[in-house]
Amino acid sequence: MKDKIAIITGAAQGIGKACAQAFAKAGATSILVDINEPIDQARELVEAGLKAESYRCDVSDKASVMETISRIVDKYGQIDAAVNNAGIQTPQRPMAEITDEEFECTVAVDFKGVWNCMRYEILQMLKQKSKGAIVNISSQGGITAFPGQAAYIACKHAVIGLTRTAAMDYAAVGIRINAVCPGVIRTPMAEELIRRNPEVERELIRDIPAGRLGEPEEIAQAALWLCEPKNSFIAGHALLVDGGFTIH
Ligand code: NAP
């Protein structure tokens, strides 16, 4: 990934932060994007001798995404890789009890956010001779379902549908689009879920053949691998990284 420019959304913490570290360690310039500008996270990488910069962007807001991508392209001239990772969880309730506001908020970030980012990343990559690679972060919940998470799970299924279709649209021109489907990963998002219901952790581990939760770095490695130019024939794939959870 030497000299490549990689955008990672939701890079302030968790999986996004681990992706930014992994891409930078692989030689790329990591562009850390988050709703609160991840200045310190980018500085940490630069202080470690890596290449990184931070931007503030709300992925649910088309204008904010357009502006951010255009500032990045003005500065760096290209986008070689993108990890569309920013996402939120909805409070856990049976479907009919999820409010319209919660539903719309989840769709705005978890689905429309990926749509917005992908669209402007693709429009830029089409202008570049070397094109590029995109990874969308779905979930094991993009393949299976969990009670009480109808809005989140529907969005994660949609991200896989979007990934597959866009991969077909752009594979022939050399833009590779794939998804990573994390299992339960120890990030602030998962910690919050466990904090609200401590029983959940025991129950989750019971159903994971690997016998533990995943680490953000394990998702970052999968996203990095899918973006590496040597993996040039992988398109429209949804890669489960879940310790075997979905084998059941
Ligand atoms: P996380 O720790 O909550 O981090 C998500 C980051 O995205 C946060 O920094 C958050 O900022 C940011 N963000 C939220 N809304 C945004 C917006 N509108 N625009 C830009 N940035 C925004 O989450 P994570 O656990 O690392 O999850 C990352 C991705 O993996 C998500 O798409 C999630 O659905 C998926 N995933 C996670 C797990 C898991 O077990 N952790 C499992 C399957 C899939 P704020 O904190 O300021 O809101």
Quick check: is 248 in a domain? Answer: no
78 in a structural domain:
yes
Say if 206 falls within a structural domain. no
Among the ranges given (113-117, 195-199, 226-230), the one the predictor scored with the smallest mean pLDDT: 195-199
Residue 78: what pLDDT?
98
Domain membership of residue 194 (yes or no) is no
Q: Which of 189, 191, 241 to mutate to test the pocket of ligand 1 (most atoms within 8 A of CB)?
A: 189
> Are 9 and 41 spatial neighbours (Cβ–Cβ below 8 Å)?
no
196 in any annotated domain:
no
Domain count of the chain? 1
For residue 193, the model assigns a pLDDT of: 79
Whether residue 16 contacts residue 82, with contact meaning beta carbons closer than 8 Å, is answered with no
Q: Which residues line ligand 1 (CB under 6 A)?
A: 9-10, 12-16, 34-36, 57-60, 85-88, 109, 113, 137, 139, 182, 184-185, 187-190
Q: Is residue 232 part of a domain?
A: yes
Q: Is residue 189 assigned to a domain?
A: no
Range of the domain at 159: 5-184+215-243
Query: Would you say residue 7 has pLDDT above 90?
Result: yes
Task: Please check the confidence at residue 90 and state whether its pLDDT lies above 90.
Answer: no
Q: The CATH number of the domain where 155 resides is what? A: 3.40.50.720
pLDDT in tens, 161-219: 999 999 999 999 999 999 999 999 999 878 887 888 888 888 889 999 999 999 999 99
**Is 205 within the bounds of a domain?**
no
Taking the complete model, does pTM exceed 0.85, yes or no? yes
User: Is 152 designated active site?
Assistant: yes
CB burial of residue 142 (10 Å; 0-12, 13-18, 19+): buried
Phi, psi dihedrals of residue 67, rounded to the nearest 5°: -65, -40
- What's the chain's average pLDDT? 96
Nearest to 7 by CA among 71, 61, 60: 71
Q: Which of 55, 76, 120, 152 is catalytic?
A: 152
